[in-house]
Amino acid sequence: MPADPFARINESLGGRYAIERELGRGGMATVYLADDVKHRRKVAIKVLHPELAATIGTDRFLQEIEMAARLSHPHIVPLFDSGAADDQLYYVMPFVRGESLRQKLIREGRLSVDEAVRITRQVAAALSFAHGEGVIHRDIKPENILLHEGEAIVADFGIALAMKRAANTRLTATGMLVGTPEYMSPEQVIAEQSVDARSDVYSLACVLFEMLAGELPHTGATPIAIIAKRLSTPAPGVRRLRSDIPPRIERVLERALAPDPSNRFESAAAIAAALVESDMPAAREPTIAVLPFRNLSPDPENEYFADGITEDVIAQLSRIRSLRVISRTSVMQYRKREQSLREIGATLEATTILEGSVRRAANRVRIVGQLIDVASDHHLWTATYDRELTDIFAIQEDVALQIAAALRTTLTLDERTRIGKEPTASLEAYELYLQGRHRYIRFTASGMREGIEYFERAIGVDPKYALAYVGLALAYSELAETGIMPSEEGRRLSKDAALRAIQLDPELGEAHCVLAVAKFMGAFDWAGAEQSFKRSLELTPGNADAYDLYGRLCSSMCRFDEAITLQTRAYELDPIAHRNDMATAQLRAGLYEDARRTAQRSIDGDQSSRGYATLAWTYAKQGQYNPAIQYLQRAVSLSPDSSLWLAQLGQVQAMAGNIAEARTILRRLEETAGQRFVSPYHLAYVHTGLGEYDRAIDYLERAHEDRAGAIYGIRGSFLFTPLHDHPRFTALLRKMNLV
Residue 197 sits at the vertex; the CA angle it makes with 193 and 198, to the nearest 5 degrees, is 90
pLDDT of residue 664: 96
Give counts: helices (H), strands (E), the chain: 33, 14
* Superfamily for the 607-739 domain: Tetratricopeptide repeat domain (1.25.40.10)
pLDDT of residue 241: 83
Instruction: Tell me the per-residue pLDDT of 131-171, one tens digit each, with 9 for 90 and over.
Output: 887 788 888 999 889 998 778 999 887 565 555 555 444 33
pLDDT at 718 > cutoff 90 = no
Q: How confident is the model at residue 661 (pLDDT cuts 50, 70, 90)?
A: very high
Phi, psi of 521 (to 5 degrees): -80, -30
pLDDT of residue 490: 82
Determine the average pLDDT of the residues in 208-229.
81
pTM above threshold 0.75:
no
> Among 198, 11, 3, 182, which residue's Cα sits nearest to residue 102?
182
Instruction: Tell me the per-residue pLDDT of 254-295, one tens digit each, with 9 for 90 and over.
Output: 999 988 888 888 889 889 888 876 554 444 568 899 999 988
pLDDT of residue 173: 35
Q: Please name the fold of domain 99-275.
A: Transferase(Phosphotransferase); domain 1 (1.10.510)
* Mean pLDDT of all residues belonging to the chain: 84
pLDDT of residue 323: 85
Q: Specify the amino acid at residue 52.
A: L
Domain boundaries, the chain: 5-94, 99-275, 287-422, 607-739
Beta bridge partners of 598: none
Determine the average pLDDT of the residues in 545-559.
90
Residues ≥6 apart with Cβ < 8 Å to 131? 197, 200, 267, 268, 590
Taking every pair of Cα atoms in the chain, the longest distance, rounded to a whole number of angstroms, is: 98
Tell me, yes or no, if the two domains 99-275 and 287-422 fold the same way: no
pLDDT of residue 168: 47
Architecture of domain 5-94: 2-Layer Sandwich (3.30)
3-state secondary structure of 408: coil
Dihedral of CA 386/387/389/393: which sign? negative
Let me know how long the chain is: 739
> Where is average pLDDT lowest: 59-73, 92-106, 327-341, 346-360?
59-73
Instruction: Tell me the per-residue pLDDT of 94-107, one tens digit each, with 9 for 90 and over.
Output: 888 888 899 999 99
Task: Kindly state the percentage of the chain with pLDDT values over 70.
Answer: 91
pLDDT of residue 50: 78
Stronger pLDDT, 72 or 45, i.e. the higher one: 45
Q: Please name the fold of domain 287-422.
A: Rossmann fold (3.40.50)
Question: 511 near 418, Cβ under 8 Å?
Answer: no
